[in-house]
Amino acid sequence: FTLIGIALYLLWKKLCFLPSYEELVNPVTPPCLEPSLQDQNLTQSSPAIQPKTGAYVIGSINPELYKDPEDNSETNFPEGNIGRLWFSVEYEQETERLLVFLIKARNLQAPADSCSPFVKIYLLPDERRFLQSKTKCKTSNPHFDENFVFQASSKTLHQRTLKFLVFHTDKQKRHHLLGQVILPLRNETLTSDSKLVIWRDLEAENLEPPSEYGDIQFSLSYNDYLGRLSVVVLRARGLKLQDESVYVKVALMNHNKFIKCKKTAAVLGSPNPVYNESFSFKTDQKELDTASLSLSVVQKAEDDKSHQLGRVVVGPYMYARGRELEHWNEMTSKPKELVKRCWERPMYT
């Protein structure tokens, strides 16, 4: 009996010293309360988690952590910009299909107050066939979200070029060209595993008809610090050819003496080939008064015989006149700046 009494005493003592729990007041105030009462209730019921400046109550979300990064491509437009186009490209090897997803356009400059744009897509050199998007009414910032499919052999894919023409439809249902985007597929890595998303600024199409022998477009720049003359061969148009491939040969001359020559890749069967290839030549600044550049458009036949379609020479006064002289003088007066002219005329020599 003594042991039982001691055990009961110890059990009673243990129960008396157990910590007591009280039901906590719910810190969440019913939505019917005024905001001032919510703050007062929250402060009285849970002072330990009262938020400080820049902090948040446990369980809440800081919205600053979930903001999307600013997309400068939709806000920063250079002076004179006539629009910008977004699209993606991928290629399926098994089915030999080129998939083009037209995403959106921004900052389109329509000739009227309202803009109703649509886009035509070509896979050059085939300029007779095209795919067309739907017309988006009364918006200069349209969302297209449309898929287009071109059939293209993997062997000739690197010789093809995507061309986007953006039009505006007026109230009389007439179409006005707003600008174009040219994308040569030569330098693009296209697979079905990765979708290439691209944006490009629209270029105004030159409405002046090509000359008798065709035109060539290129850019020049000179870096006086590195002593480097750079040439970007962009494209040609209006060439007189059939199914043969054509390339551009760029030669640096000094006192009519050949110094160095480089050439672009050949483009098959297109009278309007697109190159977008750059070359650089080592040239001292003192030599610019006696140096010149010769750009020749050359047609390559199946028997490996070459035939020159035309040639244009840019340089100082002793070698060039007109546009060619103006292009050269503008390059020398603007070091490190890429100087692009609309079109130069390749003439037979």
Q: The domain spanning residue 322 has which CATH number?
A: 2.60.40.150
Check if the beta carbon of residue 137 is closer than 8 Å to that of residue 116: yes
> Do you know the residue count of the chain?
349
User: Is 139 part of a structural domain of the chain?
Assistant: yes
Contact, 127 vs 237, CB < 8 A? no
21 is a domain residue: no
Is residue 52 situated within a structural domain? no
Each residue of 40-68: pLDDT tens digit? 444 444 444 444 444 444 444 454 444 44
Q: Are residues 172 and 245 in the same domain?
A: no
* End-of-domain residue from the set 202, 224, 258: 202
For 311-329, what is each residue's pLDDT tens digit?
888 988 888 887 888 888 8
Residue range of the domain that includes 103? 83-202
User: Are both 223 and 342 inside the same structural domain?
Assistant: yes
What is the predicted pLDDT for the residue at 53?
42
Whether pTM exceeds 0.75 = no
Residues 99 and 188 in one domain: yes
Same domain, yes or no, for 89 and 190?
Answer: yes
Q: Per residue of the chain (349 residues), what is the pLDDT tens digit?
A: 888 888 888 888 777 665 554 555 554 444 444 444 444 444 444 444 444 444 444 444 454 444 444 456 666 777 778 889 999 998 888 888 899 999 999 988 877 778 889 999 998 877 778 899 999 988 889 999 999 999 988 888 887 888 899 998 888 788 888 888 888 887 677 766 667 788 888 888 665 566 777 888 888 999 888 889 999 898 888 887 766 788 999 999 988 788 899 999 888 877 888 888 889 999 888 888 889 999 999 888 766 678 888 888 898 888 888 788 888 888 888 877 777 765 666 655 5
Residue 332 resides in a domain: yes
Residues 120 and 227 in one domain: no
- Which two three-digit tokens encode residue 300? 């390559």
Q: Are residues 116 and 150 in the same domain?
A: yes
DSSP state of 9: H
In-domain check, residue 36 = no
Q: Are residues 90 and 198 in the same domain?
A: yes
Number of domains into which the chain is organized:
2
pLDDT value, residue 80: 79
Note whether 245 and 198 are same-domain residues: no
In a domain, 249, yes or no: yes
Clarify whether residues 116 and 164 are in a common domain.
yes
198 lies in the same domain as 230: no
Q: What is the dihedral of CA 170, 174, 178, 179, to 10 degrees?
A: 160
> Is residue 114 domain-shared with residue 225, that is, in the same domain?
no
Query: Which of 202, 231, 262 represents a domain boundary (last residue)?
Result: 202
Buried/exposed code over 134-144 (b: 16+ C-beta within 10 A; e: otherwise): eebeeebebeb
- Which residue among 173, 202, 231 closes a domain? 202
Does residue 239 sit within a domain?
Answer: yes
Q: Is residue 41 part of a domain?
A: no
Q: Are residues 165 and 251 in the same domain?
A: no
